[in-house]
Structure 1
């Protein structure tokens, strides 16, 4: 006999009602009551509530105990699934497709923002994905090349001058953007144009290259 069935039988007897009378109160057959009290029937939540009302609410005290008694042991092989916020799910899904590229000012002490760029064959714009960053242009020294303040330049992080182009450099303790031309014999031509072309001939050893500009994004 189940503990719940035994308790229902006891409460029914204390109230002085027969199994037939209890069956009418609950809305089941007399045989159903007999089966419940003998432990051959297991009650669902709705029936427990009906018996509780018929027996003055007393059965409700047994519900949690009965459920706990019949609670199956947890399966040690079952892996708990932790729900993730929708945004995290999207971030995970896109992590192999898009990459957050940091945006820096010339000082490069910390990223001021990020921009998402597609990853193709583990590269961004044809360059290793861990070797690119955005640089926010801080002056108009290159306005003659249509590079002006607050433009965003995508930069390949390199210390080499593999070809003539526009580079992010540190020259004489100042970080800036300049066009560089290799003129041989360890010398470079450093070019700026803020409306007037200015050139400096320098030795390669005096210049610290921080990156080569590969694309310019102009804010509207």
Structure 2
């Protein structure tokens, strides 16, 4: 049995709940709860932890910590910079968002499907009242903004943007690109920040802004 499985079982029994009752209250299947408690399942997804936390009446961040999600995020951050003591309120502001996959910051590629098996934590203040997601950059058209291949961009779901924003844009409903967007009448101009690349022009009806980049994360790599 995993340490988190033991912890979850302890919380459930302290509340005199059966697995079936917890499943009913949380919306998480009894089979999944049983596998988690018996250590037959890897780390639960953040959305599963959120449902269990609500049903068990415990802080969401408590389950995130015991499941190792917050610890992993803090560890990754500490690899790239020295950390000051963490304000306890920081934990409460952290929310998990899915990593959808990679996006080419250059020639548009097909929108990548949701990959809900990977999540990162972000400060909810960055997203406001919006949902969010993360994308890995694999092209170099935004290097003028110091956004490089391998960087992870944190994106706020919103169709509201200004010409200064770096946007995630769907072209013809299927393709995705990372650009600044300026619409004039019936056309939209998608502009890279790589000086060697030219702006792209589309009919405005074919352009849909999915979100705005609010943070860029860089992972240090061993040569």
Which of 105, 109, 115 is the matching residue for 1:110? Answer: 115
| RMSD of equivalent CA atoms | 3.3
Deviations 1:118-172 (A, max 9, x none): 34xxxx315225x1111111222222332121111110112x2431121111225
Aligned residues: 134
Asked which structure has the greater RCO (Cα within 8 Å, sep 6+), the reply is 2
TM-score, normalised relative to structure 1: 0.50
Pairs within 5 Å for 1:191-210: 191-210=191-210
Rate the CA distance shift 1:117–1:109 in 2: closer, same or farther, 3 A. Answer: closer
Q: Report deviation, 1:80.
A: 5.7
Any runs of at least 4 consecutive aligned residues in structure 1 with deviations exceeding 3 A, and if so which?
Answer: 92-97
TM-score, normalised relative to structure 2: 0.49
Question: 1:144, 1:196 within 8 Å by CA — same for their partners in 2?
Answer: no
Q: Give, in whole Å, the separation in 2 of the partners of 1:81 and 1:92.
A: 19
Q: Give, in whole Å, the separation in 1 of the partners of 2:170 and 2:13.
A: 53
Q: Give, in whole Å, the separation in 2 of the partners of 1:92 and 1:138.
A: 30
Query: Is there any run of 5+ residues in structure 2 with no aligned partner, and where?
Result: 1-11, 17-36, 38-42, 44-48, 50-57, 71-90, 104-111
| Secondary structure at the counterpart of residue 144 of structure 1 | helix
Question: 2:141, 2:197 within 8 Å by CA — same for their partners in 1?
Answer: no
Deviations 1:184-219 (A, max 9, x none): 323322112445131123222111222111221122
Q: Which of the two has higher C-alpha Rg?
A: 1
